[in-house]
Amino acid sequence: MKVVLDRIPTLEDRFGTGASRTNDRNGTGKLPMEVTINAACPVNCTCSSYDVVCIGADFNEVIASINDLMVEKVIIRETVIRHLKKLPALYVISIELSNCLIETIEEYAFDDIPLLFEINLDYNLLTEIPKLRKRNAFSKISAKGNMV
């Protein structure tokens, strides 16, 4: 898939300040560019440049697909996970893993996700929530509808 960008998105664009960088080579303040995106949206997911929403998708396929992307939010629902292992380095701010039948979560499962501020673990089968990260607190953790 080819996407034509008239400006180069920055981390500030993705995560809050709204700043952008443009190149004024042609006097317009814009630099058209074509970018080829090789990553395909996983089956049972819808993807945009800011979020990935998956219902009943293969969890490992989703994680592998978004591994190199920078999206603001990942929502995974109704996907059987049972035991959530430590996740790889991802560049997301918010993760929702709801209605996924999660029974256990590995300690520090979210340690390699430095930008993560919000976790939604609603409506799983959790009886306890372990330490999720060694450093940097989360702004919001939701775990309603569990057995905690």
Rounded to two decimals, the pTM is: 0.73
3-state DSSP assignment of residue 85: coil
| CB-based contact 146:123 (threshold 8 Å) | yes
Amino acid 10: pLDDT: 43
Three-state DSSP state, 2: strand
Q: What pLDDT score was predicted for residue 136?
A: 77
pLDDT tens-place values along the chain, 148 residues long: 333 334 434 444 545 544 443 444 445 454 433 333 446 899 999 999 899 999 999 999 999 988 877 889 999 999 999 999 999 999 999 999 999 999 999 999 999 999 999 999 999 999 999 999 887 788 999 999 999 9
d(CA 116, CA 93): 4
Q: Would you state the pLDDT for residue 77?
A: 98
Nearest CA to 116 out of 84, 88, 138 is that of 138
What does the pLDDT read at residue 103? 98
At residue 25, the pLDDT reads 44
Domain boundaries, the chain: 1-38, 39-148
47: helix, strand or coil: strand
Q: What is the pLDDT of residue 24?
A: 40
Query: What pLDDT score was predicted for residue 39?
Result: 62
Query: Tell me, what DSSP letter sits at residue 62?
Result: H
